[in-house]
Chains A and B, each alone.
Chain A
Amino acid sequence: MLMSIEVMLNAAGLAFVIAGARWSQADGQVMFLFILAMAAAEVSVGLALVLQLYHQYGSLDVDAVSAMRG
């Protein structure tokens, strides 16, 4: 779930930093800072969604919300 997203974002940031270190440019670290900000935003919204899911359904099963309201 959300933890795996963190791992994937971290892997992308690791690739950026390694590329930046390979050519000794600061651009890779700048991109990692952007990834860090994006991960923080994504985690806050995602955890709020998880709390709402638990509040509405009493469950953490994502399949419980597979149907839309409309």
Chain B
Amino acid sequence: MLAVFYLAGAVAIVSTALMVTRLNAVHALLYLVVSLLAVAVVFFTLGAPFVAALEAIIYAGTIMVLFVFVVMLLNLGERATAVERQWLAPGMWVGPAILSAILIAEVAYILTHASGQSSVATMVGPKQVGLALFGPYVIGVELASLLLMSALIGAYHLGARQPKVEIRHDLNTAERRAAPGGDPVRAGAGRPAGTA
């Protein structure tokens, strides 16, 4: 179990470092998903299975799906299919595939061999978490519900298709806008080099 912990931690560190250094958003997303799954395995080996499940479901599932949707949404156009084919070049998914294969092997090892053994730390199950959450921390639950409600309203307000804001002329917006069909990330690079 200790070796599983260290291996999952190494996978998390390596995938996070690779994610930070990627230049393409989709490649960074792939490594980020692997990193979150590795942290989920770390949580499981630490004796926190409830949090591990939440990490895999909410972080690696829901939030990453949001990211993927937005990244794919911002790349519509004629070049989209060619760009996506370039993104899925074999050299690009080999790294995340190897790292997640290590994680899958670890989970298979846990499920087959190490069931019933004592983990690194003492197990804190979902029942204790629930008792603490709705006992002394119930005001935090209410605050989290308020935060989620305000985030829902804010995201709805921001996401509504608003008329384009009249932009002042001294901002040189014509230079800052992306050329049609151009790379949206590189657009707005009209400033002097080296000031980025």
**Are these two chains actual partners, yes or no?**
yes
Report, as a range, how many residues of chain A touch the other chain: 35 or more
Task: Give the contact stretch, choosing among B58-66, B83-91, B98-106, B109-117.
Answer: B58-66
Residues B129 and A30 in contact, CB atoms below 8 Å apart: yes
Q: How far is the CB of B114 from chain A (nearest CB, A)?
A: 17
Chain B residues engaging chain A, CB cutoff 8 angstroms:
16, 19-20, 25, 28-29, 32, 35-36, 39, 42-43, 46-48, 50-51, 54-55, 58-59, 62-63, 66-67, 70, 73-74, 120-122, 124, 128-129, 131-133, 137, 140, 144, 147-148, 150-152, 154-155, 158-159, 161-162, 164-165, 167-168, 171, 173, 176-178, 184-185, 187-189, 191, 196
Interchain CB contact under 8 A, A61 and B144: no
Tally the A-B contacts, defined by beta carbons under 8 Å. 167
The reply to whether B42 and A14 contact each other, CB–CB distance below 8 Å, is yes
Contact, CB under 8 Å: B159 / A59: no
The A interface, classified by DSSP as helix, strand, loop or mixed, is: helix
A26-B128, A60-B185 provided; 5 other pairs, C-beta below 8 A?
A: A29-B51, A41-B147, A44-B151, A50-B70, A57-B173
